[in-house]
Structure 1
Amino acid sequence: MSRPPKALAAAAALTLGLTACAGSDSGGEPADGSSSSSTTPPTESWEYVTEPELSPPVIDVRTDEEGAVLGEEDTYAAIGPKDEDKGSSMVGSMLVDSAGEPVWVLDATEGTQADLQVQEYEGEPVLTYWEGQAVVGVGEGEMVILDESYEEIARLGMTGDLDTNQTDMHETRITEDGTLLVAAYVPAEADLSEVDGPEQGWVYEAVIQEIDLETEEVLFEWSSLDEVPVTDSQYEMPDGGGTEEKPYDYFHINSINFDDDGELLISARNTSALYKLDHEKQEIIWTLGGESSDFEVPEEATFAFQHDVQRAEDGTLTLFDNANETDHTSRGLRLDVDEEAMTVEMAAEYTSDDERQADTQGNLQELENGNVVIGWGQHPAYSEYTADGELLYDASFGGGTSYRAYAVEWTGQPTQPPKAVRQDGSVFASWNGATEVASWEVASGSDAESAEVVAEGERDGFETELEVSDSDLGEYTEIRALDADGEVLETAEVSAG
């Protein structure tokens, strides 16, 4: 196993992190996670003897203060490293422990992945992520659901007049009512003459669905062109855009959540606006921000090209402000919104000391204790703050991007057994996704029944090296994964390296 020096990892994280944000067009960045014309060298990554095909990024935990949930032993960061042209060492999904060590790594077999999180499905905790093809921030794919053994149990997505594989990456949310909130970018004809496009033009229309997971019935459907004109877009018409081959992404839906009164809150990046939708009437109640705002928004509360609007426990609205074309850098934002007086005040903001600018992607997750986690999207980092903005935890993965980042609780015991390889006087052991492993034992003998322990040690990150003398090894050697009580979770035969 090759473990990169932490000092080099920190330097690489700083240099590549700045490179990932430098040179991005403000409002002109076409959409989330799109490719740039230049290519950033890959960030430093782990190399494993037992899992040579995996190359997760080295994560540098720069800040870990008391009170950080991400710093707790039973909490993991869920991220989705991608965009190799921006320096990512992999494309896929990861669970990462408090020290920044990978716990579970999944490479995308084709296309890309996004939005790894823990949700509840049919009464059980599950891992979910989006998988599919993404071009210029527009995705076509499906939501994948894995159980605690990492076995795939379902693929979900759009229904009705749309195919499941038309599901976009930006939101795949299972609700407490056993429904699914998803969206699609559907090509539609539109007059674009007022936005420097063709009169007989084409746009990506946002279509939102709420689907009953048991019956697959569409309970709610809303389409952006019915109420939001193309003239509300703040996204500049690209060269050759607005055609059937290259539809104009005028709206760019990127989050859907229920409000606490049963209505829906959505965010549209390219109109720089939040919308509240009437669930029964399936129409807009109000618009906050952008060209057609129903609210008075003071300068300090102004946001642009934002992501991930949600209603917080204290009644405020939270979001990630990408802040393209503004006089401030990207930030997490908490807004006090008076829906009767139609006024907005900034309640809190969550900023970085290094003035991170993430033109695309990002999220804000409120935790049960009131802390907030910020996924910095295009900037390869995630952070945790107190409710009033004190930084508690900060980690960088050097290069690439991650659409969102979450703090999650998860218990995993894979169906697949551990992997162990004997090489250069040591046995290397790993068990991708196993969260309960506390230590390892190497046992050897003439066969499995006669095998006795010849080496042992505490789990040391994703892969653990156990030194073993050749003279202690018999014809048969196995690795044993033990939990905190010393009970054997699983065994596997050691292979020769």
Structure 2
Amino acid sequence: MVSPVTSIASIIIIFASIEGIFIRFAASQNQTILEKTGADLATFVSRPDLKPPLFNITVYDKDAASPGYWFLATYTSLTEPPQRHEYMPYQIGPHIFDNRGNLVWSGSVAFNQSTATDFKVALYDGKAHLSLILMPNSKRCNDLAGCGFILDDAYGLRLKFPMAEAPDYPNMHEFRIINDGRSVLLIVGMTTPRNVSDDQRPSAGLIGSNGFREIDIATGKILFDWRSLQHIEVSESMVEPTTHGIKDYLHLNSVDKSAKGDYLISGRYTNCIYKVSGKDGSIIWRLGGTKSSFTMDGFGFSGQHDARFLEENSTHTVISFLNNHAIESHATGNYSSVMIVALQTSASPMTAILLRQYNRPDMGLSRLRGNAQVLPNSNLFVGWSDNGYISEFTEDGRCVLEARFLSPRMTSYRAYKFNFTAFPKDPPTLKTYAYGAPNSTSLTVFYVSWNGATEVAFWNVYGSESSDFGSSKLLGKAPKSGFETMITVAGYVPWAWAEAITANGSFLGKTLSTQTALPLGSYFPLEQGDCGMGALRPTIDDHESHGNKFPAEKNEELSKAHQDQFHKIPDIRVQSWAPISIEVPLTIIVLASAFIACSAFCISRTRRHNKK
């Protein structure tokens, strides 16, 4: 006989499970709403064409995090970007963000919304440049597909470098400029007919294999050419052929070069990191996989990415890599981590010792892609790939930065952190709008930005009666705030412009003249000689701006209002359906339902018992 207490407990558990289902459903709906409405993307008045992803920053220790910018190349698909429900023209491509997730530069327009990877700072021709890979894309920028790019500090194209020539095909993983900018490492793919033999089961098919090359940038000469099938057997692979019969047996995803001239490569599908001789291409040693050269001292890894040399001498080699602990749906561990490993190459047998391990902060798995970067201050910056998830650790393992995109709409294959100084050739952009009631309370709002400019500290804003700026007034000065700075001044400003100023007061650039937009249906007739700016109070006296000298002026009385009623500034609010917004009422409903059901059950039991 089941006791009433047991029955009540069962009912409560059932209802609690239903509540959990509803909450998870609400959370998924919230993500869908974010994506369909675009609330997960940034919006700028001065640059409505740019729609970079917004970040959710959960950890940020300003004092402990290293200075620098985040470099991510966002994408939704590695082939053709899918059509969106909303009109959002420039979302994907190379992007730079500051430590608070504010956009610094969007390269989406420059590369026509093409899918890019491995976006970072590289030393080329003695200066810091930007490098990236543009993926093959049949409908967007086809003439630039499958190439490595080098950009200068004005975001201008310095060099376009072909990633592969037929029959080989380009690879998204690596475009690494080395030797002070003289050569580049890249990975190529190839398909080869071959008898495949795995676990004593021979079959004919196609092998998807990899190679890597070191190429002289100036001449295009191939300095080193390596092919995996000549050195690594297919039997080392841990994966099965795909449904269309092609076996990607190695899946090479990184290549690095040591000071001694040897190479370090990572084979994701063999769960192995290889040291390759720079003389003859032979395998010097294997770490992991089925033929490891090392005794692993209490650790293991699988599906790894981004193997890098850190230190090397005659007895030891120290490397770093991202231990994904998973290959797509197959996981070999509970969470991903970055490993710093010391290899005792002079010992017999050779031993691998785990020096440090940095676990993914949310204790999740990066089933695809990712990278790790040791920073100049010994901090570690990690791109966990999915949803643009990034983190930064101090050397002793303390997480001082954790951030991810607001929604899973986009991802980034790798993420880096660098200092970078840029001076874009394109001018800043300004839009101005008038709001308010009569002239005594009217406002002009300035929205100003400069895509890619890193040295702007302040904005000076000016107003004039006409576009020729013959009588421009300095209206105010405001510190730069994020990508786009909003500045509000009293009164109606018919024409406006702004100039960018550095922290030490130097001029950087200025916008074109902009006519202020009026609310729909309104107008502002002016008296002769009155631009409606009599009430504007300059915050800077005696300002000189490269050919235009503006004497200090006394504040004037408010001029008589001649305008029709302006519309008020609209109160625009976005209401998102967050799980918490339904969690409390849903909990009350569930508990009330459980109480009613339990009460009815108990009453029914009591009545049956009394009848007996």
TM-score tier by shorter-chain length is 0.7 to 0.9
Residue identity matched to 1:494: T
* Structure 1 contact 115–404 (Cα < 8 Å) conserved: yes
Structure 1 unaligned blocks of 5 or more: 1-11, 21-38, 243-247
- 1:47-66 to 2 correspondences below 5 Å: 47-65=43-61
2:289 alignment partner in structure 1: 290
Residue 420 of structure 1 pairs with residue 427 of structure 2: no
- 1:484-495 to 2 correspondences below 5 Å: 484-492=503-511, 493-495=513-515
- The structural deviation recorded for 1:53 is 1.5
For residues 231 and 178 of structure 2, the distance between their equivalents in structure 1, rounded to whole angstroms, comes to 25
| Distance 1:348-1:495 versus aligned 2 partners, 3 A rule | farther
For residues 392 and 194 of structure 1, the distance between their equivalents in structure 2, rounded to whole angstroms, comes to 45
For residues 48 and 167 of structure 2, the distance between their equivalents in structure 1, rounded to whole angstroms, comes to 34
1:146 alignment partner in structure 2: 151
- The structural deviation recorded for 1:165 is 9.3
Query: For 1:466, what is the secondary structure of its paired residue?
Result: strand
For residues 430 and 179 of structure 1, the distance between their equivalents in structure 2, rounded to whole angstroms, comes to 36
| Distance 1:140-1:194 versus aligned 2 partners, 3 A rule | farther
1:316 alignment partner in structure 2: 318
Residue identity matched to 1:78: F
Residue 437 of structure 1 pairs with residue 456 of structure 2: yes
- 1:334-353 to 2 correspondences below 5 Å: 334-341=340-347, 342-353=350-361
- The structural deviation recorded for 1:61 is 2.4
User: 434-443 or 339-348: which moved more?
Assistant: 339-348
Residue 455 of structure 1 pairs with residue 476 of structure 2: yes
* Structure 1 contact 381–395 (Cα < 8 Å) conserved: yes
For residues 205 and 289 of structure 2, the distance between their equivalents in structure 1, rounded to whole angstroms, comes to 23
Residue identity matched to 1:187: T
1:121 alignment partner in structure 2: 124
| Deviations 1:348-372 (CA, angstroms, capped at 9, x unpaired) | 1101342121101111101122111
Give the TM-score taking structure 1 as reference length. 0.84
| Distance 1:338-1:140 versus aligned 2 partners, 3 A rule | farther
| Distance 1:164-1:200 versus aligned 2 partners, 3 A rule | closer
Residue identity matched to 2:452: G
| Distance 1:397-1:188 versus aligned 2 partners, 3 A rule | same
- The structural deviation recorded for 1:127 is 0.8
| Distance 1:309-1:140 versus aligned 2 partners, 3 A rule | farther
For residues 361 and 197 of structure 2, the distance between their equivalents in structure 1, rounded to whole angstroms, comes to 43
1:101 alignment partner in structure 2: 102
Residue identity matched to 1:150: Y
* Structure 1 contact 94–102 (Cα < 8 Å) conserved: yes
For residues 410 and 153 of structure 1, the distance between their equivalents in structure 2, rounded to whole angstroms, comes to 17
- The structural deviation recorded for 1:320 is 0.6
- Poorly superposed stretches of 4+, deviation over 4 Å: 39-43, 84-89, 195-198
- The structural deviation recorded for 1:132 is 1.7
1:170 alignment partner in structure 2: 173
- 1:297-446 to 2 correspondences below 5 Å: 297-298=296-297, 300-313=298-311, 315-324=317-326, 325-341=331-347, 342-398=350-406, 399=408, 400-424=410-434, 425-445=444-464, 446=466
- The structural deviation recorded for 1:495 is 4.9
| Deviations 1:178-217 (CA, angstroms, capped at 9, x unpaired) | 1110111111112124379983311222111001112221
- The structural deviation recorded for 1:40 is 7.8
* Structure 1 contact 115–170 (Cα < 8 Å) conserved: yes
| Distance 1:114-1:337 versus aligned 2 partners, 3 A rule | same
* Structure 2 contact 387–405 (Cα < 8 Å) conserved: no
Residue 264 of structure 1 pairs with residue 263 of structure 2: yes
| Deviations 1:233-261 (CA, angstroms, capped at 9, x unpaired) | 1123222332xxxxx22111111111243
- The structural deviation recorded for 1:344 is 0.9
For residues 465 and 190 of structure 1, the distance between their equivalents in structure 2, rounded to whole angstroms, comes to 63
* Structure 2 contact 274–284 (Cα < 8 Å) conserved: yes
Residue 229 of structure 1 pairs with residue 233 of structure 2: yes
* Structure 2 contact 92–113 (Cα < 8 Å) conserved: no
* Structure 1 contact 330–355 (Cα < 8 Å) conserved: yes
* Structure 1 contact 197–241 (Cα < 8 Å) conserved: no
User: 444-453 or 213-222: which moved more?
Assistant: 444-453
| Distance 1:418-1:199 versus aligned 2 partners, 3 A rule | same
* Structure 1 contact 117–127 (Cα < 8 Å) conserved: yes
Larger Rg: 2
* Structure 1 contact 158–164 (Cα < 8 Å) conserved: no
| Deviations 1:358-413 (CA, angstroms, capped at 9, x unpaired) | 10111110112211111111252111112231212222223222111111010011
For residues 469 and 372 of structure 1, the distance between their equivalents in structure 2, rounded to whole angstroms, comes to 48
Residue 468 of structure 1 pairs with residue 497 of structure 2: no
For residues 217 and 385 of structure 2, the distance between their equivalents in structure 1, rounded to whole angstroms, comes to 29
Query: For 1:168, what is the secondary structure of its paired residue?
Result: strand
| Distance 1:190-1:59 versus aligned 2 partners, 3 A rule | same
| Distance 1:487-1:422 versus aligned 2 partners, 3 A rule | same
Query: For 2:500, what is the secondary structure of its paired residue?
Result: strand
- The structural deviation recorded for 1:450 is 2.4
Residue identity matched to 2:318: T
2:590 alignment partner in structure 1: none
| Distance 1:40-1:223 versus aligned 2 partners, 3 A rule | farther
* Structure 2 contact 91–113 (Cα < 8 Å) conserved: no
For residues 252 and 450 of structure 2, the distance between their equivalents in structure 1, rounded to whole angstroms, comes to 38
* Structure 2 contact 93–113 (Cα < 8 Å) conserved: no
- CA RMSD, Structure 1 to Structure 2 (Å): 2.9
1:34 alignment partner in structure 2: none
Residue identity matched to 1:209: R
Structure 2 unaligned blocks of 5 or more: 1-23, 139-143, 435-443, 518-612
| Distance 1:485-1:67 versus aligned 2 partners, 3 A rule | closer
1:273 alignment partner in structure 2: 272
User: What percent identity do the matched residue pairs reach?
Assistant: 29
* Structure 1 contact 140–168 (Cα < 8 Å) conserved: no
Residue identity matched to 1:96: F
For residues 333 and 150 of structure 2, the distance between their equivalents in structure 1, rounded to whole angstroms, comes to 41
| Distance 1:140-1:236 versus aligned 2 partners, 3 A rule | farther
Residue identity matched to 1:333: M
1:477 alignment partner in structure 2: 496
Query: For 2:416, what is the secondary structure of its paired residue?
Result: strand
Aligned length in residues:
449
* Structure 1 contact 141–164 (Cα < 8 Å) conserved: no
User: 102-111 or 162-171: which moved more?
Assistant: 162-171
For residues 153 and 496 of structure 1, the distance between their equivalents in structure 2, rounded to whole angstroms, comes to 38
* Structure 2 contact 197–234 (Cα < 8 Å) conserved: no
* Structure 1 contact 93–113 (Cα < 8 Å) conserved: yes
Residue identity matched to 1:292: K
Q: Which structure exhibits the higher relative contact order, with contacts defined as CA atoms closer than 8 Å and separated by 6 or more residues? A: 1
| Deviations 1:60-86 (CA, angstroms, capped at 9, x unpaired) | 22222255344x3xx101111212699
